[in-house]
Amino acid sequence: MNKILIVEDDDDSRILLKRLLETTGYEVSDAVNGVDALEQAKRSRPDMILSDIMMPEMDGFMLCRLAKADETLKTEQES
C-alpha cells in the first residue's frame, strides 16, 4: 500500500483530500505545517508528500528542501 503524507494548514482542504485518497486505497497521514510534516516523515517514511506552499512555521518550499537534504528520507525503506 502506498503511504501519502498530506501537509495542509486549511482543515477543510486537508480533511477532504485525506478522505478522497483513503477511499481509493491509500494509507494517508496528515500534518498542518512543514515542521510537523518533517517530523512525521522521519517517523513513518511516506512514499509521497503532498504539500501546500503557504503555511505557518515552515512553508512547502522549505519542507521540500529539508526533506531532500535529509539522508534518512533519501534511502528507500525495506518492505
- Radius of gyration in angstroms for the set of CA atoms belonging to the chain, rounded to a whole number: 12
Helix (H, G, I), strand (E, B) or coil at 37: helix
Tens digit of pLDDT at every position of the chain (79 positions) = 699 999 999 999 999 999 999 999 999 999 999 999 999 999 999 999 999 999 989 999 999 999 999 988 877 665 5
Which DSSP category does 57 fall into?
S
What is the separation of C-alpha 75 from the centre of its chain, rounded to a whole number of angstroms? 17
Q: What is the pTM of this model?
A: 0.89
The half-sphere exposure of 1 on its side-chain side, counting CA atoms within 13 A, is 10
